[in-house]
Amino acid sequence: MAARTDQTTDPRLQEDLLQARRGTAFFARKLNELTDADLDGPSLLPGWTRRHITAHIGYNARAIARLVEWAATGIETPMYSSPEARNQEINFGATLSPIALRNLFDHSAVHLSVEWRDLPEEAWHHEVRTAQGRTVPASETVWMRTREVWIHAIDLNNGATFTDIPTPVLERLLADITGTWHTRGTDTGLRINATGTDLTFGDTNTADPTTITGPLPAVVQWATGRGTTGVTATGPGAAPNRIVPAAPKWI
Ligand code: ZN
């Protein structure tokens, strides 16, 4: 008989799985608030309707489930066969009927949750490769999904904001994004200060940095390239009118 609870007993992983499933439930709630006609409306992402967002989230669950299956079986199954195939799939998915789109989201989310639930304790350490070519343990798939469902729920453009995202997820997002900048060397001279936290992000070596300051949700919104509401900039990059510079590219 199949287990009804997660195989893993790692408390950290169980907490991460909870955040992923909460994020999925949040996305589902925002999607369910939209009428079928609303799906044709614009998302917050340039060129994408809400249909594209929904299709992407559905196919993303399938792609991540392939990584979990890879970890379970040892048989290499990449997320997508190519970046072009990924984009074609999204464009195709966006043409589905509303009921088919909603089913795609629902079924793929349940399937991924079951793959996670049934992954044996030791297989969570098995290495898989992401669409960006990073080699990661299977446990990383939980975070990969978490950031997608929370951020794209906002991109559905029907009322969700970064203040809806739980603080631990926001903190991890900011660490993740600024870590990516650091790896690429695109954070030179840029410091990020989330008020109310004791966390420092960005370039800590520069004496006179451009500093982006704001509450954690606003700073993360800026860092993901989704606007400058609620953040201020000081330092050389902000002159002369305290204009907030665009964040470096993340994805
Ligand atoms: Zn995405």
Distance from the alpha carbon of residue 10 to the mean position of ligand 1, in angstroms: 27
Distance from the alpha carbon of residue 207 to the mean position of ligand 1, in angstroms: 35
pTM greater than the 0.75 cutoff? yes
Distance from the alpha carbon of residue 60 to the mean position of ligand 1, in angstroms: 8
Q: Would you say 122 and 13 are in contact if contact means Cβ atoms under 8 Å apart?
A: no
Distance from the alpha carbon of residue 95 to the mean position of ligand 1, in angstroms: 18
Per-residue pLDDT band at 239 (split at 50, 70, 90): low
DSSP string, 33-95: TS-TGGGGSB-SSTT-BHHHHHHHHHHHHHHHHHHHHHHHH-----S-S-HHHHHHHHHHHTT
Per-residue pLDDT band at 2 (split at 50, 70, 90): low
Q: In this structure, which residues have their CB less than 5 angstroms from ion ligand 1?
A: 148
pLDDT at 215 over 70: yes
187-205 pLDDT, tens digit each: 888 999 999 887 778 888 8
Share of the chain above pLDDT 90, in %: 78
Average pLDDT over residues 73-82: 94
Can you give the pLDDT at residue 168? Answer: 94
